[in-house]
Amino acid sequence: MHRRNLLIAEAKHSEMTDRGAHPDKGPGHRREPGGDASATQPRLADVARFAGVSTATVSRVLNHPTAVTPQLRQRVHAAVDALGYVPHGHARALASRRSNTIGAVVPTIDNAIFARNIQSLQARLFESGRTLLLASSDYNYERERREVQSLVERGIDGLFLVGEAREPAVYQLLESKRIPYVNTWIYREDSLHPCVGFDNLQAAYQIGSYLLDIGHRSIAMVAGIMQGNDRAAERVEGISAAMADRGVRFAPGHLVEHAYEIAEARRAASRLLASPNRPTAIACGNDVLAFGVLFECRARGVNVPRDISITGFDDLDLAANMDPPLTTIRVPAAEMGRRAAEYLLARLDKTPIPEKTELQAALVVRETTAPPPELVPELT
């Protein structure tokens, strides 16, 4: 019944297009804007004849590509390309009640770690014949709500989100429309929402513990702005918890929040380095902040790691190529995008899949960290 409805919708659209444009020219003709040239619009049946398959098979390839063999998909798509056939999206959506589009709202597209994440998400969706619609929220809950509303109005079948904390209206809208969604970049076993990600608190705890293990007690943190960003808040909580377990706290002025920008990080580092109570280590909320701190240290002639240790969070490609290479947390960004796509696809196909998937974020020790100067014996 589903295939029959789809074919009827496609056929009606093609027939209306052919007859509605220029009835005086006869069926199958239309006038191009600004000229008298006419061209025949290829139909679903034309693609089927060209590929040597049934119209039902063409429909399956276009709407449920994973249900057919790769060889058959290639054969039908070759016919589509050769004829220049363009399926009518509205007709397909009416027949299948699916738009074959997935929405994603990320905090920013001005960060390479989200680019890697979204690229993996899109690649997996493309394999399944879905299209990605992307929006950014600029770490603003109200803007995120509006972007989600807009995507829902455009008929998305599922939604990829970053983090868990947001306006309740977002969750209410998705649940009322029965649109599957998944939170990413965060994992909580007791969450009320599906999630694919890692424990930010535990990952940051690794960094704090490592710095304490090699002897640091005067630790500062340049964090991301925590308002509107539960991941940034959990990273601060993780560093603080590691310090508290060793009886250490942030000194006054040693915990600062800044936007994820190199210039902002340099300003923070400038104040910390000029402080009479200068820290021996600076943990940063992400790699971009760590790069800014490193640049400011170099500008001031502060040797890293001899005079001060620096850590990041994300493991961007540049991190391993800095001078010196950056100690950081490696985030499974690509795997997270792929697994989030698989969760949404499984929900749409009504196949079983766990509601929560925990991935691991690993500490990568490189050359920006060392014991504090007072613990390093001077060479004589």
Whether residues 28 and 127 fall in one domain: no
Whether residues 168 and 207 fall in one domain: no
Predicted confidence (pLDDT) per residue in 67-115, tens digit: 889 888 889 889 888 887 866 554 555 454 668 999 999 999 888 899 9
Predicted confidence (pLDDT) per residue in 238-261, tens digit: 999 999 999 999 999 999 999 999
Whether residues 42 and 186 fall in one domain: no
Q: Which domain holds residue 27?
A: 2-96
pLDDT at res. 225: 95
Give the count of domains, the chain: 3
Whether residues 110 and 191 fall in one domain: yes
pLDDT at res. 15: 40
Q: CA nearest 185: which of 291, 363, 339, 355?
A: 339
Whether residues 78 and 11 fall in one domain: yes
Which whole number is the average pLDDT over 226-247?
Answer: 97
Whether residues 251 and 120 fall in one domain: no
Whether residues 233 and 320 fall in one domain: yes
Q: Give domain status of residue 39, yes or no.
A: yes
SS (H, E, C) 201-233: HHHHHHHHHHHHHCCCCCEEEEEECCCCCHHHH
Q: Give domain status of residue 357, yes or no.
A: no
Whether residues 112 and 256 fall in one domain: no
Residue 150 has pLDDT above 90, yes or no: yes
Which of 78, 96, 114 terminates a domain? The answer is 96
Q: Give domain status of residue 7, yes or no.
A: yes
Whether residues 164 and 174 fall in one domain: yes
CATH code of the domain in which 172 resides: 3.40.50.2300
For residue 266, how many C-alpha atoms fall within 13 Å in the half-sphere facing its CB? 9
pLDDT at res. 242: 98
Which tokens is 152 given?
A: 């829902």
pLDDT at res. 360: 96
The model's confidence at residue 203, banded by pLDDT at 50, 70 and 90, is very high
Which tokens is 343 given?
A: 């969760």
Which of 49, 79, 96 terminates a domain? The answer is 96
pLDDT at res. 110: 86
pLDDT at res. 280: 98
Q: Give domain status of residue 358, yes or no.
A: no
The model's confidence at residue 377, banded by pLDDT at 50, 70 and 90, is low
User: Which CB contacts under 8 angstroms, 24+ apart, belong to 335-338?
Assistant: 335/120, 335/359, 336/117, 336/120, 336/184, 336/185, 336/196, 336/197, 336/198, 337/116, 337/117, 337/118, 337/119, 337/120, 337/121, 337/122, 337/123, 337/124, 337/184, 338/120, 338/121, 338/123, 338/124
- Separation of alpha carbons 26 and 220, rounded Å: 77
CATH code of the domain in which 50 resides: 1.10.260.40
Whether residues 12 and 47 fall in one domain: yes
Q: Give domain status of residue 354, yes or no.
A: no
Whether residues 86 and 229 fall in one domain: no
Whether residues 289 and 263 fall in one domain: yes
